[in-house]
Amino acid sequence: MTNLSPANEEFDKHLRYFLRMKHKEDPPKCNIYVVEFFGVLSLTDLRAPERKLWYIYYCKQSDIDQTVDQIHQKYGKKNMYDLFRKPVFSGAGLRASVKKHFSELKWFTKGNLLEAPPKSHFNDERVCKTITDLYNIEQERLYNYVMVKNQWYWRCSH
């Protein structure tokens, strides 16, 4: 009996290929209806105010308040403010591209902290603009992916 199920699946796969039917889609591994947010907090170090620090985070929409409260407890609510927060397809993906971009600029990137080198010309506005540009690139990449899939579907189905 146990060998019958894989045989049926294999037969189903070949039959679908032969009849040019769509493949059965696997159920998604995550809930696609939950929106993730990516954000950046500007952080001021009271012991060394000349340091330029930013904290990056991502979380699900339902966890935003809890996540920001945890960050405020760790670093102090008076020492930081929200600089950037947007809904994203993948918070981890945007976090990785932001860290990669700033590490290529020779910034100190440890964990979720970004620190500009001493005597850097970056301020909150420039960091926000840079992250917005990276966000727009990510959105454009997703849009292009969807459009290519759409064109491929229409080309193959008609």
Mean pLDDT of the chain: 86
Give residue for tokens 């039917």. Answer: 21
Burial status of residue 142 (CB atoms within 10 A of its CB: 0-12, 13-18, 19 or more):
middle
pTM for the full model?
Answer: 0.74
**What was the pLDDT predicted at 18?**
63
CA 130 to chain centre: 15
Domain range list for the chain: 36-152
pLDDT in tens, 41-93: 999 888 888 889 999 999 999 999 999 999 999 988 888 999 999 999 888 88
